[in-house]
Amino acid sequence: MDKSSLAGVDSVVGGGRAVMTAEDSVVVDVVKATVKSGRTATFYLTPSQFSAVNAWYWTPQRMKHLGLEPVSDEEMARIKTALGTEASGSAYSNRIECPNGHPYGAFEFVKQGIEEHGLDATRAVFDLKDTAVIRANPHQQVVCATCRRQLASPHYYVYWRYGCCVDLDDTSTAAFAARHS
């Protein structure tokens, strides 16, 4: 490990966060255990660790059950031109509708992220080259981009190197398993 790596670790720890290093299987197991626990955490992973978590979590059955669909090229282009950031690579998102009939999908998710965290922070996440991000059990309140109403339906997303994994409660998990076993 070179000195600059330790300076980065020191900076993160100095900011009140922990850094963990381990072989890939250990890191993936920690992410899985966190998702299953229902606790909230953000993991900054290698692309191979991210892929392993996604292969475990985002099965075709779960994606179908939660309504995830590929984000269209048109919506990706709209994110770039209207919001000023680019989420390159593959992206999947469910689409929900607010009671007033307004859609909420990938575009609205990125727009809300910019409103809450700023354009620079959003760009920084999408610009990561060697790092992928998993948000385990995030507590994000979905807000309609048009009328600002808080939505009860959850939004699920997974981008090329950024995604969420949510623990489904025992009832949902059991019902999901029964339908797909």
Q: What are the angstrom distances between the C-alpha of 12 and each of 16, 46, 63, 142, 181? A: 7, 17, 34, 29, 43
C-alpha span between 67 and 155 (Å, rounded): 10
Q: Is the dihedral of CA 177, 67, 152, 120 positive or negative?
A: positive
Q: Provide the residue count of the chain.
A: 181
Tokens 């929900």 appear where? Answer: 96
Q: What is the 3-state secondary structure (H, E, C) of 33-62?
A: HHHHHCCCEEEEECHHHHHHHHHHHCCHHH
For residue 1, what are its two tokens?
């490990």
Is residue 1 pLDDT above 90, yes or no? no
Q: Mean pLDDT throughout 127-153?
A: 93
Q: What pLDDT is recorded for position 91? A: 93
Nearest alpha-carbon partner for 106 in 115, 97, 94: 94
Is residue 169 pLDDT above 80, yes or no? no
What is the per-residue burial (b if ≥16 Cβ within 10 Å, else e) of 153-174? eebbbbbebbbbbbbbeeeeee
C-alpha span between 120 and 135 (Å, rounded): 19
Is residue 172 pLDDT above 80, yes or no? no
pTM of the predicted structure, to 2 decimals? 0.84
C-alpha span between 92 and 101 (Å, rounded): 21
Summarize pLDDT for 61-114 with one digit per residue, the tens: 999 999 999 999 999 999 999 998 887 778 999 999 999 999 999 999 999 999
Q: Mean pLDDT throughout 27-40?
A: 96
Is residue 170 pLDDT above 60, yes or no? no
Segment among 41-45, 50-54, 84-88, 98-102 with least mean pLDDT: 84-88
Q: Mean pLDDT throughout 33-53?
A: 96
Neighbours of 14 (CB within 10 A): 8
Is residue 52 pLDDT above 80, yes or no? yes
% of the chain with per-residue pLDDT over 70:
92
Is residue 174 pLDDT above 60, yes or no? no
Q: What pLDDT is recorded for position 5? A: 78
Mean pLDDT of the chain: 89
